[in-house]
A = this chain, B = another copy of it.
Amino acid sequence: MKTINRSAWLGAGLAAMPALALADGAPTLVDASTISAGDTAWMLTATALVLFMTIPGLALFYGGMVRRKNVLSTLMQSFAICALITVLWTVVGYSLAFTPGNPFIGGFDRVLLDGLVYLKDDAKLTTHPLAGTIPESVFMMFQMTFAIITPALITGAFAERMKFSAMLVFMTVWSLAVYVPVAHWVWAPGGWMADHGVLDFAGGTVVHINAGVAGLVAALVLGKRVGYGREAMAPHNLVLTLIGASMLWVGWFGFNAGSAVAADGRAGMAMMITQIATGAAALAWMFAEWIAKGKPSVLGIASGAVAGLVAITPAAGFVDAKGALAIGLISGVVCYWGATGLKHMLGYDDSLDAFGVHGVGGIVGALLTGVFAVKAIGGVEASLSAQALGVAITMAYCAVVTFVILKLVDAVIGLRVDEEKEREGLDLVLHGERVE
């Protein structure tokens, strides 16, 4: 389903949607018998898995990497974003992203989820044209979990220094001004990037490049943490980080195999491909670091696994086992460089490597999808130049709009806590709490 190429997703849809294929891409009311219990069972599960990736998965992954005095505030960001985007997506986000409008943005048909119905007595309910065998409620929810994790990923870039209030305002605007339109261009029937042949199975571009680039811009706009480069800022508890990475790994089965929007052979392939790339990337980062620095680290192997998960995301429905191995090995090594060499070379303080892992991994994955996609598996032709175009446009749009939003928020309420508060730690200063 998650194919930018329109004919591609229509093709992908054929097996899954016997009963409907609407010209205008709007959800429709159908008979309850249209629904596949098996597909629905899997998509309910996949939705739970992707939510699990953000809370507690990502929250822990990030929370373990900050200093103890900031762990609660870091967890709080993911959790609050989860609540915030839930409401935002319900009120207007889903409608603007996934209902017909123009090629640039969707419409207002589903504001407050109006018209998304389940009618018990009539045995009727609505389905979305991208997922004809499951209830629209489940499709909407699955998409919501993607809308939640994307801003949560950004928080890694500005950890340990941003005001909580500014974060909430920024994310509200960013979600509507960046995430929602890009999701519409790429995934909605009729989105303007949908005819350019870019392949993005499960959100490498919409989720990871978007989040990575926004993180990079945020790291630059906010500036470095007080003491960065001089004081020790070692992760306070990598146990949390490893739990988080493990949950991301397991939850990513929902992310990628769920993007088949059915419990079928495609979902199975996507899960398998995801696992292979992730294992390979984890080993690649580990050995790269072992060779370069003399020791294989826990943070390294965990980061490598996440790098592999990111990089395989756009490719998960298009490549075979060998392609997955290659993408895993390459992304593990390149992201190792992204989070170490590149970052130090350019000197920004992307605290938890939102760009170094998600941005770089997303770019690597998007491009390699163009290289390793197999026509027989995905049912579509891939093109490296189309992939590069998708990456470039997303990066440019995201960078510019993110920059503008941050500058506005800074002008109005200020982005950073002051130095003394930063020293004391955000947990106490912003939330009045402390981990013993």
Interface residues of A (CB under 8 A from B): 11-12, 15, 32, 35-42, 44-45, 47-49, 51-52, 55-56, 59-60, 63, 68, 71-73, 75-76, 79-80, 82-87, 90, 112-113, 116-123, 125, 134-138, 140-141, 144, 164, 234-240, 242-243, 245-247, 249-250, 253-254, 257, 262-269, 271-272, 275-276, 278-280, 282-283, 286, 293-299, 301-302, 304-305, 320-322, 325, 375-379, 427, 430-436
- Bound CA span A72–B59, Å: 19
A90 near B321 with CB under 8 A, answer yes
- Among candidates B40, B55, B136, B432, residue contacting A267 with C-beta atoms closer than 8 Å: B40
- Bound CA span A55–B135, Å: 30
B436 near A120 with CB under 8 A, answer no
Known: A52-B250, A268-B134. A86 touches B275 (CB 8 A): yes
- Bound CA span A320–B90, Å: 11
B272 near A140 with CB under 8 A, answer yes
- Among candidates B236, B297, B325, residue contacting A87 with C-beta atoms closer than 8 Å: B325
B79 near A433 with CB under 8 A, answer no
- Among candidates B83, B239, B246, residue contacting A278 with C-beta atoms closer than 8 Å: B83
- Among candidates B75, B119, B236, B305, residue contacting A298 with C-beta atoms closer than 8 Å: B75
B250 near A55 with CB under 8 A, answer yes
CB distance from A338 to the nearest CB of B (A): 19
For A269, give the chain B residue with the smallest CB separation. Answer: B118
Known: A15-B123, A86-B278, A120-B12. A249 touches B55 (CB 8 A): yes
How many subunits of this chain does the assembly comprise? 3
B38 near A282 with CB under 8 A, answer no
B269 near A135 with CB under 8 A, answer yes
B36 near A321 with CB under 8 A, answer no
A253 near B32 with CB under 8 A, answer no
Task: State the majority secondary structure of interface residues on A.
Answer: helix
14 contacts between A and B (CB under 8 A): A32-B264, A37-B262, A40-B42, A51-B249, A51-B250, A51-B253, A55-B249, A72-B239, A79-B305, A112-B322, A120-B266, A120-B376, A137-B268, A141-B268
Known: A80-B286, A83-B282. A238 touches B72 (CB 8 A): yes
Given contacts A55-B242, A76-B298, A87-B280, 18 further A-B contacts (CB under 8 A): A38-B41, A44-B267, A45-B48, A51-B249, A76-B242, A76-B296, A79-B246, A79-B301, A83-B301, A112-B321, A113-B272, A117-B377, A118-B268, A121-B379, A125-B265, A137-B268, A236-B435, A298-B427
B87 near A242 with CB under 8 A, answer no
B118 near A265 with CB under 8 A, answer yes
Q: Chain B contacts of A120 at CB under 8 A? A: 11-12, 15, 266, 376-379
